[in-house]
């Protein structure tokens, strides 16, 4: 019996039922949607044409938009800080790479073998994680290996085996240039399944998450759906976050209203990012649980006040019974 022929367990069947669809359940869209969405984005940002040079374009991704729609002061602090790899960051990247490799195995994948292969490939790659993997301590290496193995094992247990007929694509890159190359929006989804049939939606975009659920994950996927729609003209049918810790997926059907909401959020975020970068906008503080990971958390009064109140309110969660 091959992997594809093996019966699904209830968790795998649940994911398949959520992400799958019959031909009758796949919506069709107008051929003008692609042009309409692009025009709406460019119209909303047209006044920036004189402020951004195509020789020095503004680059935007989902992380930039998530940060600026959160605490703008934290966004600036993160920009001022040089990026450094750490075990928490590395283990997520390794788990994602191992899962990518699992999609293309011709035999039943073994989690730890996938993790070791992922670590080896990343260490030999041109990615910035290569240096961290080659210089980290054996303890850090063992920690990220163990974590990634757990996540990959959970994925293989809970996600249905991906069939060739589903047209799987891992690390699918997307790019959109606006205002004659003045603004460049890019993205990369972890996995896509299916494909459009003319103007009928069929593709599912999936992002794998190693943390807890967040509303920003839905916004990230809406951005990907927008980029995909402007790229080929037909929206994806569904966009989903798959949470490796929980072994569950959260999905949203992509509609025209969802795409127009993504246009509004993207345009608003790009404007804020530009104004913050040139100093014409005072950053807005928006304290949240994200303050715990902010580079200026020890000197930010709104953040300290929020965390102090939140810790006091939730202190009983950690009391002994």
Angle 215-218-220 (CA atoms, 0-180°, nearest 5)?
110
Residue 319 domain flag: no
Compute the distance between CA of residue 179 and CA of residue 181 in angstroms, rounded to an integer.
6
Q: Count up the domains in the chain and report the number.
A: 3
Residue 284 domain flag: no
Question: Are residues 268 and 200 located together in one domain of the fold?
Answer: yes
pTM (predicted TM-score): 0.90
> DSSP 3-state assignment of 253?
strand
Compute the distance between CA of residue 7 and CA of residue 13 in angstroms, rounded to an integer.
9
Residue 240's pLDDT is: 97
Residue 320 domain flag: no
Compute the distance between CA of residue 4 and CA of residue 161 in angstroms, rounded to an integer.
6
Residue 175 domain flag: yes
What residues pair up with 183 in beta bridges, in sequence order?
A: 58, 178
Which stretches of the chain score pLDDT less than 50? 1, 312, 315-321
End of a domain among 158, 192, 207? 158
Dump pLDDT digits (tens) for 165-206. 999 999 999 999 999 999 999 999 999 999 999 999 999 999
Residue 319's pLDDT is: 42
Structure tokens at 109: 């994948």
Question: Are residues 181 and 240 located together in one domain of the fold?
Answer: yes
For the chain, what percent of residues have pLDDT higher than 70?
94
Cβ burial, residue 106 (10 Å; 0-12/13-18/19+)? exposed
Residue 78's pLDDT is: 92
Residue 312's pLDDT is: 46
Compute the distance between CA of residue 185 and CA of residue 79 in angstroms, rounded to an integer.
17
Residue 108's pLDDT is: 87
Enclosing domain of residue 306: 289-314
Residue 10's pLDDT is: 95
Question: Are residues 170 and 148 located together in one domain of the fold?
Answer: no
């Amino acid at each position: 019996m091959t992997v594809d022929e093996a019966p699904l367990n209830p968790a795998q069947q649940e994911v398949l039922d959520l992400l799958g669809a019959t031909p009758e359940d796949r919506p069709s869209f107008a051929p003008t949607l692609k042009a309409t969405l692009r025009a709406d984005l460019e119209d909303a940002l047209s006044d920036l044409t004189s402020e951004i040079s195509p020789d020095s374009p503004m680059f935007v991704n989902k992380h930039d938009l998530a940060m600026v729609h959160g605490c703008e002061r934290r966004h600036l602090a993160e920009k001022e800080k040089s990026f450094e790899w750490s075990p928490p960051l590395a283990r997520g990247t390794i788990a994602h790479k191992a899962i990518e490799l699992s999609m293309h195995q011709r035999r039943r994948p073994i989690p730890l073998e996938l993790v070791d292969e992922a670590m080896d490939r990343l260490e030999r790659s041109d990615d910035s994680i290569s240096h961290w993997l080659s210089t980290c301590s054996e303890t850090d290496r063992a920690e990220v290996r163990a974590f990634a193995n757990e996540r990959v094992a959970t994925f293989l247990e809970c996600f249905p085996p991906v069939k060739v007929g589903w047209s799987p694509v891992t690390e699918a890159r997307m790019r959109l240039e606006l205002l004659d190359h003045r603004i460049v929006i890019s993205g990369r989804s972890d996995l896509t399944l299916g494909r459009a049939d003319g103007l009928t939606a069929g593709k599912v975009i999936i992002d794998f998450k190693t943390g807890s659920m967040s509303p920003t994950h839905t916004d990230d996927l809406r951005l990907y759906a927008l980029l995909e729609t402007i790229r080929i003209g037909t929206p994806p049918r569904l966009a989903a976050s798959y949470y490796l810790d929980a072994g569950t997926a959260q999905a949203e059907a992509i509609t025209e209203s969802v795409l127009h909401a993504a246009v509004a959020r993207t345009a608003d975020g790009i404007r804020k990012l530009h104004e913050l970068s040139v100093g014409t906008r005072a950053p807005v503080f928006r304290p949240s649980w994200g303050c715990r990971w902010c580079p200026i958390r020890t000197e930010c009064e709104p953040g300290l006040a929020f965390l102090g109140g939140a810790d006091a309110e939730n202190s009983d969660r950690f009391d002994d019974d």
